[in-house]
Structure 1
Amino acid sequence: MNIAVDEQRAQLGADTTPPPRHGRQRLYWLGGAALSLAVLGYSLYWLDSGRYLEQTDDAYVRADWITISPKVAGYVAEVLVADNQAVAAGDPLVRIHDRDYQARLLQARARQNESRAAIAAQQAALVTLEARLQEQQALIDQAAADIDSARAERQRAQLDFQRYRDLVAQQAASEQRLESASADFARARSALSRAEAAASRQHTRLSVLQASREQATALLDQQRARAAEADASLELASHELEDTLIRAPIAGVVGQRRVRQRQYVTPGLPLLALVPVEQSFVVANFKETQLRRMRPGQPVTLLVDSFPGQVLHGRVDSFSPGSGAVFALLPPDNATGNFTKIVQRFPVKVVLEDGARQKLPILPGMSVIAEVDTHEP
């Protein structure tokens, strides 16, 4: 028994004998070489590209979504889309009862017809006045001819009167003949006066007709203005009738659908949101110390938290004109006594490469890790 125990102890003592010294030195040398290679590799990586990479995890997918609101008031007749439904530009979304708007359209069309009839009647009246003006001008010409005739007759009667007066003075004609010539001369003067008075009346009537024509022209312009107003009212009524059917202005996905059938809506009331997911982009908030070498057009590598291991690519599009604190609802007041300097962040818009949405079904609001390669201009 003692001999067996001694042999086991001898074997255990042989197993726990420390390794040779040159073996440990080889392990140390291999470890140091591997560490040196790792440090050298990282240094080369950092010198070549690592120092040009700016990364932030304060980045999110965004989209320029819009709120759909009605332009007219009324009760909702039908909601034509469901929650999270994809729609194309021009697809109907909501229909409002259009009975009142159809009646307004008929009323506006009746006013338009009335205004056009008034224009036609006024144009006819103006044509009548033009004809009367032409007739009056002919009467004025006739009156002028009558004046010329009466003036000639007065001249003849005056010459007869003077001739017979001289003859009576020479006792070559009778007094009776002189009296007859004097009467003819008086009648001729009276006829000339009447012709001149008639011509004056004709000129006065011409002035009245010309004033009536100006008044009729003004009324015609007024009727045309009313017709233009009626046309505008008809156009507005037509637009309001068209606006009872709300259509999608852009392609996107329906979200925040609050509208319900038989609900009364007013202009500006939010009904639903339309999110253009195909036009998604990324907003990355970089520290102000990271923007020194950052320029538009530089490549960006994107890692979406929802899809581990999947990589998207994009490019820097633009920079915000101010930090997030500038556009905050309550911006900080650094002019206070308790001042603590905090590194500010600036939103940077990153546009995705073509087909990124087909590669990964990203949605606005998803968290992203953005890395910008500032080595490239």
Structure 2
Amino acid sequence: MLELLLCSLVTILPDYLLRRQFQGKRWGEEINFFTVWYELRWGITLCAMLTISMITIVFYYHPSTTNVSSFFRTVTILSEGGGRVAEVYVRNNQDVAAGDPIFRLDDSSQQAAAETARRQMAEVDAALVLAQSERAQAEAGIAQAQAALAQSRADLERQVALQQRGSTAVSDRDLELAQTSVAANQASVDAAQAGLRAVDDKIRVQLPASHASAQAALQQAETEISKLTVYAGVSGRIEQLSLRQGDIVNPLLRPAGVLVPSDAGRNRFLAGFPQVTAQVVKQGGVAEIMCMSKPFTVVPMVIVEVQDVIAAGQVRPSDRLGDAQNQGRPGTVTAYLEPLYPGQANDIPPGSRCMANAYTDNHHRLAHDPNIGGLERVFLHVVETVGVVHAAGLRIRSLLLPLQTLVFTGH
């Protein structure tokens, strides 16, 4: 409508004035509702052509979209396992810092496992003390066996010496008994030494391994206990938290709530422009947005990034081949917008629905490119000028938005 009004000022209006002043035709006489097309046919034709051309130039070189929003990601408050809530540390709509506890699940079974591991460690420590006593006993047994071996060897040596001197006091039977006693006592020494080595292995290998196993079980139980307390991963605000002591929390079926990060969706907007403007919307371009959550305000923006793919064309591996005719609506060119001046979008809540205009800027090209021809230079000036029409349209929509929303839609 705005383009039609502007074009009529330089086409229909001059045509009417020409016929009124030079041809003497008057409105209501020669010019009326029945003869308006014939009398103003040149102005109407030129107005239609100029309006269509202007609309095409405006919407192509200065694209507009209503698909603008400040998307933000929420963090689901979940425990690693299910359980019954034992204590809740925060309330709904409370601000928390990273690392603050949110709630704790019942840990009675994990505490019992930890206590069992502690008892096992105490048993191993007691067994170590007992093993030291067993080692002392084994050393005493070795000394006793070695003394008996020495005595039996001395008796054997004496009997052998008497036999060699030809004494009849020692018989062959006595000599055999003495040799048997030495062998038996040697076996007793070997057995006592083996028992000492077994006790040493028990002290050096078995008991430390049992102690390490009990300690690992204790660490595992303490780790499970620590997992039962859910902490805030980032700073933000707790939303939709309705936990009470005794509630059941399940990470698959029933999350505890939502954590909205403090910087989520702030000062960054995602806009989807029509595909036909893909060659116009470029990184570094200038734009403006107007949000429903902040009416009567137009915020200047800059395009900081343009997604190099269109989301509508993505495919996922499946058991069916893709067919182009099954594709849904054509996707949009995704652009990321940030305020041109810091702080201008601080009071726009994340998730706000907005409208945006992007503008083609040829000022630098016109000022520094000597290879631009005369007609091209005129065309670029026209493109720069008609951007004002789109800017004015955005401001008019900003003024009419509260009226349209509150009065005509009743929302």
Q: 1:315 to 1:160 in 2, by over 3 A?
A: farther
Matched, 1:225 2:225: no
Runs of 5+ consecutive residues of structure 2 not aligned to the other structure: 1-19, 24-49, 365-411
Q: Which residue of 2 aligns with 1:127?
A: 132
Q: Which residue of 1 aligns with 2:334?
A: 347
User: 1:285 is paired with a residue of what secondary structure?
Assistant: strand
Matched, 1:303 2:302: no
1:365 Cα offset (Å): 3.6
- For 1:74, which of 78, 81, 84 is the aligned residue? 84
* Aligned pairs (5 A) from 1:1-377: 56-71=65-80, 72-74=82-84, 80-82=90-92, 85=93, 87-90=95-98, 95=103, 100-101=106-107, 103-104=108-109, 107-139=112-144, 141-142=146-147, 145-146=150-151, 148-161=153-166, 178-180=167-169, 182-183=170-171, 187-211=174-198, 213-214=200-201, 217-240=205-228, 242-243=229-230, 247-255=231-239, 257=240, 259=242, 261=244, 264-268=247-251, 269-276=254-261, 278-280=263-265, 281-288=268-275, 290-291=277-278, 298-306=284-292, 307-317=295-305, 319=307, 323-326=311-314, 335=323, 343-351=330-338, 355-356=342-343, 359-369=346-356, 371=358
The aligned amino acid for 1:64 is R
The aligned amino acid for 1:192 is Q
Tell me how large the CA RMSD over aligned residues is: 4.6
Moved more, 266-275 or 103-112: 103-112
TM-score by length of 1: 0.61
- Answer with 1 or 2: which has the greater Rg: 1
TM-score by length of 2: 0.57
1:118 Cα offset (Å): 0.7
| Contact 1:315/1:353 (8 A) holds in 2 | no
Identity of aligned residues (%): 11
1:256-300 deviations in Å (ceiling 9; x for gaps): x262646723122234333336331322224455445766x6355
How many corresponding residue pairs? 306
1:40-70 deviations in Å (ceiling 9; x for gaps): xxx9xx9xxx998665442221112222235
Question: Distance in 1 between the 2:202 and 2:86 partners?
Answer: 50
Q: 1:122 to 1:254 in 2, by over 3 A?
A: closer
Q: Which residue of 2 aligns with 1:175?
A: none
Runs of 5+ consecutive residues of structure 1 not aligned to the other structure: 1-17, 22-38, 162-177
Q: Using CA pairs below 8 Å that are at least 6 residues apart, which structure has the higher relative contact order? A: 1
1:201-238 deviations in Å (ceiling 9; x for gaps): 22124334534554564255234312321332134224
| Contact 2:284/2:304 (8 A) holds in 1 | yes
Question: Distance in 2 between the 1:123 and 1:361 partners?
Answer: 68
Q: Which residue of 1 aligns with 2:381?
A: none
